[in-house]
Amino acid sequence: MRQAVREKLARMSNDEQILLRPLVETSRSFYVVAALLAAITLWGMFAYYVQVTYGLGRTGLNRPSYWGIYIICFVFFIGISHAGTLISAILRVSKAEWRRSITRSAELITVLVIGFGAIQPITDLGRPDRVLNVIFHAQLSSPLLWDVTSIGLYFISCTIYLYIPMLPDLAIIRDSGIKAPRLYRFLAAGYRDTPAQRARLERVIGVLSIIVIPIAVSVHTVIGWIFAMTLRPMWHSTIFGPYFVMGAIYSGIAAILVAMVVLRRAFGLQQYFKDIHFDYLGRLLLLFSLLWFYFTFAEYLTAFYGGEPGEMRAFWSKLTGPFAIPFWTMVLGCFVIPLSLMSRRSMRTPRGTLIAGIAVMIGMWLERFNIVVPTSVNPRWEIESIGQYLPSWVELSIMAATFSGFTLLYMLATKFVPIVSIWEIKEGREHSVREVADRVAEYLPESA
């Protein structure tokens, strides 16, 4: 860090010093990790080059396993995206004060992960060069088109929802002059934090946080409907819309927890991501592990009780057949581990939630696997059920690159914006403490 920058930083408030430090100071290990992630991402891009050059034959896909890793990752990543926006919007709307230090990191996950999720189905296309036909020859009755519309709208609204609450922080960086003055003058868009501007800002955030909730719900509902609208065993199910939304929020909470643990460690944010945050988010994870069990149980019981031969082939292939390992690992990751850990207070710590969060993310990836692959290889057309699916190195490389590419961009973003919202913390200190006390007093009967 240059001397001039250090002096500028020293003149700022304590919050600003801690939260802006990552923007101007980069550790050696950051570069090492970033280089590693960049290498994996480049490798994945090479794999995609191979796929485009030779054709989708370079994947492990076949007939009847038309969909595989790419579609699984698509559902998984768009699911993770429910981390930010939905959680932060719901917490904002419900005036949950503990949200203040976690909203920014969560919203950033959302925006980046939608991008990485949305490229998955394009990677899956046989003719990516014709992707714009989705606009030129759009057929509204196709659930894929509902998806394009919904995800497009979601990406735009989430980007705005990330950017608008960032304005005051961008103005702080611009005024401090610690980094790229021109860039931040442009990004801060003339925000001066006047009372009029602040009032307008809060009103826009209030409206946005209500708008993004139904959009977020629609996104994963529609993704569930891609499967549910076909007549295939274990796909054609009315529960899929809500089941997917619930699963998406679940994996999203897990992703936030993992990100928070890493950020806290990497940037020394113990004062911002406190034990209480892990406790609260851990409780939320516990609630969703129970919801997950409820939905999954309802889905499988309905299929089993009906006992239709086509359904049963897919059903038993998961419970006891060739997909028993991914199926029961999913149950372990989505239910047993998070339930047993998060039901104990002593485990709702950074360490405990990290373990539960990773288990849930693995479990939720497997859930998508268990939806896509067993049904694909067990078509209703029994005479020809010759299904098998083994992903090729191309698919696995692209999947690895998606994970590394996302992590890399997230790391880079922490070098440009404070990962905890400075102004919201400040506002919490200056106003909310009193406001909440007043609000609670309002709930109570007037004292005589």
Token pair for residue 340? 């047993």
Examine residue 56 and tell whether it contacts other proteins (CB under 8 A): yes
204's CB contacts (< 8 A; 6+ apart) are 164
> In the chain, helix, strand, coil percent, each to 5?
75, 0, 25
Token pair for residue 172? 């702080």
Q: Which stretch in 13-21, 60-68, 166-174, 207-215 sits in contact with other proteins by CB under 8 A?
A: 60-68
Q: Estimate the crossing angle of helix 143-163 against helix 84-93, to 10 degrees.
A: 60
Comparing CB distances to other proteins, the nearer of 131 and 436 is 131
Examine residue 192 and tell whether it contacts other proteins (CB under 8 A): no
Examine residue 309 and tell whether it contacts other proteins (CB under 8 A): no
Query: What count of Cα atoms within 13 Å lies in the side-chain half-sphere of residue 100?
Result: 18
Examine residue 393 and tell whether it contacts other proteins (CB under 8 A): no
DSSP 261-303: HHHHHHHT-TTTS-HHHHHHHHHHHHHHHHHHHHHHHHHHHHH
Examine residue 381 and tell whether it contacts other proteins (CB under 8 A): yes
Give the footprint of other proteins on residues 203-262 (CB under 8 A): 226, 229-232
Comparing CB distances to other proteins, the nearer of 114 and 226 is 226
Examine residue 307 and tell whether it contacts other proteins (CB under 8 A): no
Examine residue 339 and tell whether it contacts other proteins (CB under 8 A): no
Q: What is the three-state SS of 104-169?
A: HHHHHHHHHHHHHHHHHHHHCCCCHHHCCHHHHCCCCCCHHHHHHHHHHHHHHHHHHHHHHHHHHH
Examine residue 54 and tell whether it contacts other proteins (CB under 8 A): yes
Query: What count of Cα atoms within 13 Å lies in the side-chain half-sphere of residue 209?
Result: 20
Examine residue 130 and tell whether it contacts other proteins (CB under 8 A): yes
Examine residue 28 and tell whether it contacts other proteins (CB under 8 A): no
Examine residue 63 and tell whether it contacts other proteins (CB under 8 A): yes
Q: Which stretch in 11-19, 37-45, 128-136, 202-210 sits in contact with other proteins by CB under 8 A?
A: 128-136
Q: H or E element: which one contains 171?
A: helix 167-176
Examine residue 27 and tell whether it contacts other proteins (CB under 8 A): no
Comparing CB distances to other proteins, the nearer of 141 and 447 is 141
Comparing CB distances to other proteins, the nearer of 231 and 440 is 231
CB of 393 to other proteins, least distance (A): 15
Examine residue 306 and tell whether it contacts other proteins (CB under 8 A): no
Binding mask 150-189 for other proteins (x = CB under 8 A): ----------------------------------------
Among 96, 301, 386, 437, binds other proteins (CB under 8 A): 386
Comparing CB distances to other proteins, the nearer of 13 and 385 is 385
Query: What count of Cα atoms within 13 Å lies in the side-chain half-sphere of residue 309?
Result: 5
Comparing CB distances to other proteins, the nearer of 70 and 191 is 70
The distance of Cα 19 from the centroid of its chain, to the nearest Å, equals 23
Measured CA to CA, the distance from residue 342 to residue 348 in angstroms comes to 6
The distance of Cα 312 from the centroid of its chain, to the nearest Å, equals 33
Comparing CB distances to other proteins, the nearer of 50 and 284 is 50
Residue position matching structure tokens 């990677």: 123
Q: Which of 231, 244, 251, 267 is nearest to 381 (CA)?
A: 231
Comparing CB distances to other proteins, the nearer of 119 and 246 is 119
Q: Give the phi and the psi of residue 301 in degrees, each rounded to 5.
A: -65, -45
Comparing CB distances to other proteins, the nearer of 58 and 283 is 58
Size of the site for other proteins (CB under 8 A): 45
Q: Which stretch in 93-101, 121-129, 275-283, 311-319 sits in contact with other proteins by CB under 8 A?
A: 121-129
Binding positions for other proteins, rule: CB under 8 A: 54-57, 61-67, 121, 124-128, 130-131, 133-134, 136-139, 141-145, 148, 226, 229-232, 376, 379-381, 383-384, 386-388
